[in-house]
Amino acid sequence: MKFTCQKQELAGALSIVSKALSSKPQMPILSGIYLRAENGQLELEATDFELGIIIAIDAEITQPGQMTLPGRYFQEVIRKLPGDTVSIDEDSEAKSVRIQSAAANYTLRTMNASEYPVIHRLEGDLHFTIKDNVLRSLVKKTVFACSNDESRPIFTGVYMDIDQNTVTMAATNTHRLAVKKETFDAPIGAMKLIIPAKVLNELLHILTSEIPSDVEVTCSLNQVSFAFENIYMTSRLIEGAFPNYRNVIPQNLTVKVEAATSEISAAMDRVSLISRANDYNVVKLDFHDEQLHISSSNPDIGQAEETLPVAIEGDAIQIAFNATYLVDVLKALDGESCVISLHQPLSPITITEPDDPDFIYVVTPVRTAH
């Protein structure tokens, strides 16, 4: 295997593919990055058996082939290289590869490429195409609500309900729920899957190209893949049945409050500075007379309070929440204003956006001493 390519392009590809390198690989070979050079393309692969990434870049290939290199070292070496082009030349007898750019020469030992669990492109039962910004919005407005608790795996993933003309994503940690729906012009089939939050967070990081692009989504019974530009991502699915979350969306809420999202988000962030040191991270919200008064206190540190103007329809109400559950959703919103709908101090509330009728967030309040 022998090829030459642009250093910056290779370094960029490695920074993406290495997101699938586990820090504690299940097998030694998974610490490697698999390379395949053929037909003017260099493909790089990495997987931790949950997430797999393939990325292809242009290369001038003198001798096609496959090999596996120690992932972290390969990435660091390429990142540090001087010069614009890098040439890579395998010595299969010596089980090593020579990496050369300007005056710098590295020799890295290769790993056994035949042991590498090469990623197979998914031939799924269901395919659809979605705009990158639409997919980003589906993920961004739900994934933060997942749980980190590995003892209940289904809550560590986002539920994706594909139902002909709609795709709905939902995530919950049982104390809060985020649901976002998108409508398609043509029916795309029906399927239900749970995708690991970790994979969707990596997708959000990678899916940031400034040029709008199409993402091809392919789903099977136990896998999903996302293909866009020169990148292919595949993920195992989480097994299990997602609970019927629609039941927990409260109806007939009697108080409606409209607030400026950026103002309430910044105020909540400041007030929670004091509550963060508490066990339950509690902030109190007091809605009355067209004002929202947010406060928190900690006997050892002090108190924080802030008042902002809001539009209230309904009675005055006092209610308390885990601050994280409010701060997180407010950061995920993208419209100018949000609507908080409430009923009673111990009933779940919803947060919605006038600009996005297809999003809803539900959070359960906490009981406070007074």
Q: What angle do CA 56, 26, 192 make, to 5 degrees?
A: 70
Which residue in the set 23, 24, 39, 105 belongs to the binding site for a copy of itself (CB under 8 A)? 105
- In terms of Cα–Cα distance, which of 53, 41, 32 is closest to 115? 32
**By C-beta, is 269 or 286 nearer to a copy of itself?**
269
Measured between alpha carbons, how far is 161 from 181 in angstroms, rounded to an integer?
9
Measured between alpha carbons, how far is 262 from 277 in angstroms, rounded to an integer?
24
Instruction: Tell me: does residue 270 bind a copy of itself (CB under 8 A).
Output: yes
Instruction: Tell me: does residue 106 bind a copy of itself (CB under 8 A).
Output: yes
Instruction: Tell me: does residue 184 bind a copy of itself (CB under 8 A).
Output: no
Residue 41 tokens, joined: 């393309």
Instruction: Tell me: does residue 262 bind a copy of itself (CB under 8 A).
Output: no
Which residue in the set 20, 35, 54, 77 belongs to the binding site for a copy of itself (CB under 8 A)? 77
Q: Choose the stretch contacting a copy of itself; rule: CB under 8 A; options: 2-10, 106-114, 225-233, 315-323.
A: 106-114
The least distance separating a copy of itself from the CB of residue 82, rounded to whole angstroms, comes to 7
The least distance separating a copy of itself from the CB of residue 55, rounded to whole angstroms, comes to 23
Q: Binding-site residue total for a copy of itself (CB under 8 A)?
A: 30
Q: Choose the stretch contacting a copy of itself; rule: CB under 8 A; options: 100-108, 167-175, 280-288, 337-345.
A: 100-108
Which residue in the set 4, 25, 73, 118 belongs to the binding site for a copy of itself (CB under 8 A)? 73
Which residue in the set 222, 307, 315, 368 belongs to the binding site for a copy of itself (CB under 8 A)? 307
Helix (H) or strand (E) holding 264: helix 261-275
The least distance separating a copy of itself from the CB of residue 4, rounded to whole angstroms, comes to 19
Cβ-contact 178, 369 below 8 angstroms:
no
Instruction: Tell me: does residue 321 bind a copy of itself (CB under 8 A).
Output: no
**By C-beta, is 66 or 96 nearer to a copy of itself?**
96
Which residue in the set 93, 300, 357, 367 belongs to the binding site for a copy of itself (CB under 8 A)? 300
Cβ-contact 144, 101 below 8 angstroms:
no
Which residue in the set 65, 70, 124, 314 belongs to the binding site for a copy of itself (CB under 8 A)? 70
155: number of CA atoms within 13 Å, CB side?
Answer: 15
Measured between alpha carbons, how far is 238 from 218 in angstroms, rounded to an integer?
16
Measured between alpha carbons, how far is 334 from 355 in angstroms, rounded to an integer?
9
Measured between alpha carbons, how far is 113 from 270 in angstroms, rounded to an integer?
52
Q: Are strands 2-6 and 60-63 parallel, antiparallel or unpaired?
A: antiparallel
**By C-beta, is 275 or 352 nearer to a copy of itself?**
275
Q: For tokens 């910004």, what's the residue?
A: 133
Cβ-contact 54, 42 below 8 angstroms:
no
Instruction: Tell me: does residue 104 bind a copy of itself (CB under 8 A).
Output: yes
Q: What angle do CA 332, 336, 340 make, to 5 degrees?
A: 70
**By C-beta, is 60 or 269 nearer to a copy of itself?**
269
* Residues making contact with a copy of itself (CB under 8 A): 70, 73, 76-77, 80-82, 96, 103-109, 266-267, 269-270, 273-274, 300-308
